[in-house]
Each structure stands twice: as structure tokens, then as C-alpha cells.
Structure 1
Amino acid sequence: MNLPELERVIYERNPLVEVVCQLRFPPILKISHQEPVEFQDKIRLQYPLFEITQSQVPSEIVKVVQQFGLPLQSDIAYSFRSEDQKWHLSITKDFIALTTSKYERYEQFKQRLKEAVEIFEKIYEPSFYTRVGLRYQDLIIRSNLELEDKNWSDLIAKHIASELHDSELSSLIQTLSKNMVLKTEDVQVILNHGLVTVKEPHKEDEVAYLFDADFYIEQKIKRDGNVWNVLDQFNKSARKLFRWSITDTLHKAMQPQRVDETKV
């Protein structure tokens, strides 16, 4: 599947609610058994808030483990957050991830990630990476775009959700959830999308449309420029996939601004 090439833009009315990049690697036991003192010391100016969390083990597994008298293992995650809590860096024994709800453009996100990964690699020296993933969540809220008078068929492309373009069926739809696994060029992506209900303080509940696109590759990836080349390709594919999924009406309502590639 080859998506059409389009001019790169940044939306003034940005629909992105969350962007996550995760790099997985063979387990490093030192991370589970020692608090990341040196790592925190290098990043705490950007990420001063710190907490330790443990993943929850399903109750069914807990019961089985207890029956056999085996020790119960749960992964420890170290979380580092910016002061405004819009940036979240986390590490466990087998991954490092950066999450933000303040995404403006790819180059800025990549720079913050690269700074953290370079520090992480110097301290923990992962052998290589086994999975690289980049996930974008776009939420289309019509009231934020002054599109309350528009039907979803005016905003979402027919090849993405043909049900919304059926005049008889669309008026009956209360919920819509779709899942696709796509291969675009050399990139694998899980695309979950559909209608969701947004609850915001002091506002009535509103039906919105969510695009959740998870781009990933699972193979041995060396600790060098390969990782960043992969992420660059993911970002390019994500832009094209999102634009392919919406109509010109929605595209224009989000006020696209042409990107100057020479500036970061």
C-alpha cells in the first residue's frame, strides 16, 4: 500500500492528544535491581518528578503462581515527568519510552528522545533493540473546530469508514470501532479508529473521532542511526496515513500551516 505524497503541514488546531515512542531491548536485570540514580541525575532538570511503579499481575495468574508456591515477579517501571507533566520518560528492564501530550513537531520530539536515549545507552549499554514503535493518537472534536454542523461523512474519508457515508445507516450508529493492520511501504501499523465519547469538565459529553496509529518494526536493530532512520520513516508514514484518512473539509478546518524544513 503506497500512500500519496503530500506537502508537509503542521495544524494550527492540533488534533494530537498523545504521542509515544518505545524502544524495546533484551532485558537488563540491573535496571530492575538498582534504582536509576545516575540516569536520573542526568535528566532531572528536564524531568524533575519521579516515581516508581510496578505492573499489575492479573489475578488469575496470581492464583496459579501461589498454588505452586513460586515467587511472584512484577516489572518495576521508573517514571520521570516534566514539571508540567506533559512529558513522561519511563524505563523498565526491557524498554525505554517517551510520551507527550504537548507534541508540536516531530523534530522537537525526536531531539528530546535522542537526548534521553543517548544518556540511557551510555549508562546501561543495551546490546541492540528488538522493537521500535511510534504511536500517534489524534482526536477530532467537532466543537473545537467549529464543525458542529458537519456530519462525520463530511470529515472522515469513505475508504476509512464507509458506514458513515451510508445515509440510512449513519443516523443509526451509536458507536463505531474499527481495527486494521496495514503495511505501508516497509512499515507495519496497527490502526484503531472510530467514534468515542469525550467527557470534559463543565461541558456536555460529545461524540468525537479517534485515530490511534501504532507504527512498529520487530527485528534486531543496531544501536546506531538505524533507529532514527526507522523513526523518520514512521513519522513520514504517519503524516500520510492521517491525511489519507480525512477529507479536505476537515484538513482545512484544522488550519494547516506549511512546514519550513530548514527550521526546528
Structure 2
Amino acid sequence: MDEQSQTMKIEPSQRVLYAHNPLAEVVCQARFEKLPDLSEEEVEELKAAFTAAGYPTCTEEISFGYIRQLTPHEAAAKAPVPLPETHIYRFNSLDGVWRISLCSEFVALTCYKYSGWSDYLPRILNACQIFFERHPAALPLRLGLRYKDVIERGPIGLEDVPWHELIQPFLLGPLSPNALAVGQIASDEEVENFLSQSLLKLDGAMLLLQSSVLVSVNGQDRAFLIDADFYKEENLDVDAFKKISALESLLESLHSYAGALFRRAITERLHNALRPSTI
């Protein structure tokens, strides 16, 4: 069996827009080898640039990392050991739909109300251009594009429809018919918690695919999460994040998997209930 035949593929499908859009969150992250912490002057320059780009509010948080295990001598000395920390800056749009997050290790764009790739792509390209023009020495480590789809049955009139009529078996685990006994279909109440996780090597990218059942605060309603993180780590060109044309090509490649995967993950019944229209 040759290498090409061993590479997993996702069957292509016609790209559509859903009137009942299940996308709860889309995140793209460009990660690079750690740079020196951003100076106050750099942060002020970035604030000005992102304000002009439509992200006028900025917040800062500190993320603490791990420390190495202390030697017996260091432990006996009881000297204070500072925790490694990273300052993360969040730039938000006024409507709260868009957020740019950046630090000395990554740049990311999060969208909480996704309307389409034609709106998302220019924003992540612009965010990367603003940052990497100021840090041309950054060496790429990982480029990821992550989609979180949340299927809620109530708003689309499918309250009493079991999940196996809406979601394909490869994501259902114990919710699949006949999973534990012939003729048995587990109910929402019987499957109190469920999480599936797979790491797949695709043709040209990796995919971390997760699915789970979400429970509402009142404990009554259930939703189904499909969480797909497409990413590239190997063979990234040193200029992949600095050359906008190269970055755009990589992002288009990752994006090409997303719609195809979601269509493979759902049944025709759910597809129709989400009210698709061709792009």
C-alpha cells in the first residue's frame, strides 16, 4: 500500500451558508517561537494599529507557565522561584463579535458570530500583517483554524429527535443505536457525560476532532458540540506568516476541510433543518 493511499481525505461537498448557523466560535491562531516580551512602546503601537483596524478596546491578562523541578539544593534554600509569565493582550471590536489575542508566542483571531469566510479571512490576514511587520524574525511553529459547531434542537423544531437521526455515527459513541445492546438506543438522560476525541492525519494537515454532549444550566436541554481544529505544524516555511500571499494560501487550504467535515458529520435531516443556501 503506497503512502498516498494511506492518507485520510474528507469527501468534498458543495459549500453552503446556513440560515440557522450552528457555528458558535471560529478561531485562527498563528503560533511562533517565543519572542522577548512586548515592550510598553510596542504595546502602544499595537493598540493604535488595532484601534484603527476596528478593535478599540484592549485588556491584558497574565498567563503563568510551568517551572522546572527544583534540585534538592534549591529546594533546601527555600529561595523564591518566579513563575514564568506571559502577558496576553486582547483587542475587541465594539460589538463583541471579534477578538484579536496576541503575546510573544502567538497571534489569534476569534469570531463569536461567524457570517462567512469572505469576512473572516481578511481580518486574520490584517491582524497577522500588523503584528509580523513589527516582528519579522518570528519563526512559525503552528497554524491552526478551529471551528466549534453547537447543534441545538429546539430552535430548529427538532426537540424530540434523537441524536442518531441528526449526527453521523462516527461522532456519537454510546449514543449510536446498538452501541451496547442490539435494538437499544441510549437516551440523553442515560448518557450523562460524553466526550470523543480523535487525532487524524489528513492529506496536507492534521485534525483534532472532538464531539460531546452539552447540558444547559437548568439541566433540561442538551446540545451537541462538534469541535474541529485543523492545523499545520510540519514544513512551515520560515516566511509563512510574513508573506501575506503564503499565509492566505495556507489558510485557504485549512478552510477547505471545514465545510466538508461538517457536512460529513451531519445527516440530511439536520442539513435541511439548518436551511442551507449555496454560496
Q: TM-score, normalised by structure 2?
A: 0.84
* SS in structure 2 of the partner of residue 55 of structure 1: strand
Q: Give the fraction of aligned pairs with identical amino acids, expressed as a percent.
A: 30
How many residues are paired up?
A: 254
CA distance in 2, matches of 1:198, 1:231: 34
Tell me the SS of whatever aligns to 1:78: strand
Q: 1:149 aligns with which of 154, 160, 164?
A: 160
SS in 2 for 1:75: strand
Q: Which one-letter code corresponds to 2:30 in the other structure?
A: L
Do structure 1's residue 256 and structure 2's residue 279 form an aligned pair?
A: no
CA distance in 1, matches of 2:220, 2:253: 37
Match of 1:18 in 2: 25
Name the residue aligned to 1:139. 150
Partners of 1:198 and 1:82 lie apart in 2 by 28
2:92 aligned to which of 81, 102, 117: 81
Superposed, 1:157-236 pairs within 5 Å as 157-161=168-172, 163-166=174-177, 167-171=183-187, 172-199=190-217, 205-219=220-234, 220-221=236-237, 222=239, 223-224=242-243, 225-236=245-256
Give 2:202's aligned amino acid.
T
Q: How far off is 1:148 after superposition?
A: 0.7
Deviates more, 1:121-130 or 1:185-194: 121-130
Q: State the superposition RMSD in angstroms.
A: 2.2
Cα distance 1:226–1:20, how it changes in 2: closer, same or farther (>3 A)?
Answer: same
| Structure 2, gaps ≥5 residues long | 1-7, 178-182
Q: Deviations over 1:146-176 (max 9, x none)?
A: 1112110110112332532324241332222
Is 1:92 equivalent to 2:103 in the alignment? yes
Q: Is the 8 A contact 1:62 1:72 kept in 2?
A: no
Query: Deviations for 1:50-87, whole angstroms, at most 9, x for unmatched residues?
Result: 111101457xx599698453333210011111111211
Task: Quickly say closer, same or farther: Cα 1:209–1:234, change in 2 above 3 A.
Answer: same
SS of structure 1 residue aligned to 2:141: strand
Q: Deviations over 1:213-236 (max 9, x none)?
A: 111111333232332222111111
Work out the CA distance in 2 between the residues paired with 1:168 and 1:8.
35
CA distance in 2, matches of 1:162, 1:122: 46
SS in 2 for 1:251: helix
Deviation of residue 184 (structure 1)?
Answer: 2.3
Change (3 A) 1:198 1:231: farther
Inter-partner Cα distance in structure 2 for 1:152 and 1:31: 47
| TM-superposition CA deviations, 1:1-54 (whole Å, max 9, x none) | 222121110111000001110001122215266551111111114111111110
SS of match in other structure, 2:94? coil
Runs (5+) with no aligned partner, structure 1: 260-264
Over 3 Å counting, the alpha-carbon distance change for 1:140 and 1:33 in structure 2 is same
Matched with 2:56 is 48
Q: Quick check: 1:25–1:126 contact (8 Å CA) kept in 2?
A: no
Give the 3-state SS of the residue equivalent to 1:29 in structure 2: coil
Q: 1:262 — aligned with what?
A: none
User: CA offsets per residue over residues 113-133 of structure 1, 9 Å max, x none?
Assistant: 111111112222243311101
Runs of 4+ in 1 over 6 A off after TM superposition: none
Structure 2 counterpart of 1:168, which letter? Q
CA–CA separation in structure 1 for the residues paired with 2:207 and 2:228: 7
Local SS of the residue matching 2:251 = helix
**DSSP 3-state at the match of 1:76:** strand
